Amino acid sequence: MNRPCVTASHRAFRRQAGLTLIEALSAILVLGVIVALGGPSFVTFVQNTRLESRASAVLQVANQARAEATAQRRPVTVCGSLNGTACSNDAAAWSTRVISFIDCNGNGTLDAAVAAPACSDRLLSDIENGSRGVTTAVTGFNNNRFGFNTQGFMLNAARGTVRFCDSRGATSARAWVMSPTGRLIAAVDSNNPADGVVNDHTNANITCP
C-alpha cells in the first residue's frame, strides 16, 4: 500500500505548539497578581529574619560571656563598641559592634595588658551588626554595659533590657530582659489587655528611635 505523501504546503498549515499572545498576557497578569499579594509578606519575612538574627547573635555573645565567667573564674563584661577594642558609653554603639572580654578587676573597661600580671583583660568576642536596618540598644545598665561575676550572676545585681528595632517601630521590636541571676529572657507583651508591644525589665513598653 502506498503511504500518503505530505507536501511542504500541507506541513506549513499544521498547528504549531506554543503560547498565543493572549495566553502569554494572561500568564503575565496572573504572575503580577501573585507578586502583588505575596510581596508584602515576603518583605515582612525578611525584616523579621533580620531582627531575629541580630537578637540571636547578641544572645550568643551574652551566653558565652556568662559561661566564660564561671569557667575562667574571672568577671566578664559585655558592651557596645565603636572600634572593637574598647567599650563606648553611647547606647548607639550597640548598633555598630558588641564585644565581650575578661574583665579582671570588673571595672567595665578592657584594660591594656601589664607586665607579668596575675590576670590580664582579654577580648573574647567581637561581632558587627550584620543585620541591615536593625538598631540595638540597652536600657537599665550602668554605662550601657553589663557583666557577669564568677558565679555567672550579674555584676552589681543589675537588671536591664537589650532591645532590637527596625523601621517598623516598637510593634515589631524584639528584646531580651536580663535578670540579676544572669539569665536573658525573651521579652513578651505583658500588658493586660495586650497592646502588641513587648515590655522591658520595668514592665514598660519597649521604645524605638
What CA–CA distance (Å, rounded) separates 55 from 200? 15
Amino acid at 133: G
pTM: 0.79
Q: Which amino acid is at 203?
A: N
**pLDDT attached to residue 92:** 85
Compute the distance between CA of residue 65 and CA of residue 50 in angstroms, rounded to an integer.
23
Look at residue 157 in the predicted model and tell me its pLDDT.
77
C-alpha to C-alpha distance for 97 and 70, rounded to whole angstroms: 24
Domain limits, the chain: 22-186
* pLDDT confidence of residue 69: 97
The 3-state secondary structure of the chain reads CCCCCCCHHHHHCCCCCCCCHHHHHHHHHHHHHHHHHHHHHHHHHHHHHHHHHHHHHHHHHHHHHHHHHHHHCCCEEEEEECCCCCCCCCHHHHHCEEEEEECCCCCCCCCCCCCCCCCCCEEEEEEECCCCCCEEEEECCHHHEEEECCCCCEHHHCCEEEEEECCCCHHHCEEEEECCCCCEEECCCCCCCCCCCCECCCCCECCCC
How confident is the chain (209 residues) per 10-residue block, as mean pLDDT? 51 55 72 60 92 96 97 96 93 94 94 78 94 94 94 89 96 95 94 95 94
Written as nine digits, the cell of 58 is 547578641
> From CA 123, how far away is CA 86, in angstroms rounded?
10
Q: Which CATH architecture has domain 22-186?
A: 3-Layer(bab) Sandwich (3.55)
How many alpha carbons fall within 13 Å on the CB side of residue 130? 8
- Residues 135, 62: Cα–Cα separation, whole Å: 17
Query: Which residues on adjacent β-strands are paired with residue 154?
Result: 148
